[in-house]
Structure formats: structure tokens, C-alpha cells
Amino acid sequence: MALTLVFLGKLADIAGAPEREIDAVPSIAALIAGLEPELSAVAGGDKIKIAVNGKIVADRAVFTLRDGDEVAFLPPVSGG
């Protein structure tokens, strides 16, 4: 029972690695709450988009995670 987390851009530096596996949790709120404090504060911010299995999550408050999901944290893209 696990989730794969993917951290893009500068979030990979804060997380210490671009990917990790964690024990499954039921919601995005529980996932973010379980991250270490600095990462949790950044990853849970409004500017970070979240994709589950390659689809952007429209409303993270009501999204239910399933075993095996890949959850990606996407900071604003770099532009120029």
C-alpha cells in the first residue's frame, strides 16, 4: 500500500529527491500534513498545482487518493 510522490522544479531540492514512496493516505490534506514541515508548507501552498496520475486535480479538498496513485507537485513554470 503506497503512493509515489513526484516533486518538480525547486520542490525536488526542498524534498531532497525528485521522487519518493510513502504509505498510502486517503486524502491530499493528509498527505501534505505528513510531509516534513518545510516541504509541507511549500507543497501545500496555493501556487503549487497537484496532479494525480497525470491529471491536474481541480479540487484537492474533495479528492480521494487510491493505493498506487502517483501524486505530482508542480510549482509555477519558469517562463522566460
Partner 1 sequence: MASDVRLITTSFDAAEETDRFSSNNRDAGGIASFLGKVRPTGGTLALELSHYEPLTLPGMEGLAADAEARWDVTGLLLLHRTGLMQPGDPIVLVAAAARHRRDAIAAVDFAMDHLKGDSWFWKREKRADGWHWIEPREQDFADLNRWG
From the list 4, 9, 27, 39, which residue makes contact with partner 1 (rule: CB under 8 A)?
9
- Cβ density class 31-61: b for 16+ within 10 Å, e for less: bbeebeeebeebbbeeebebebeeeebeebe
**Per-residue x/- mask for partner 1, residues 31 to 70, rule CB under 8 A?**
--------------------x-xx-x-------------x
Q: Which is nearer to partner 1, 43 or 75 (CB)?
A: 75
Stretch that binds partner 1, among 23-31, 32-40, 61-69, 71-79 (CB under 8 A): 71-79
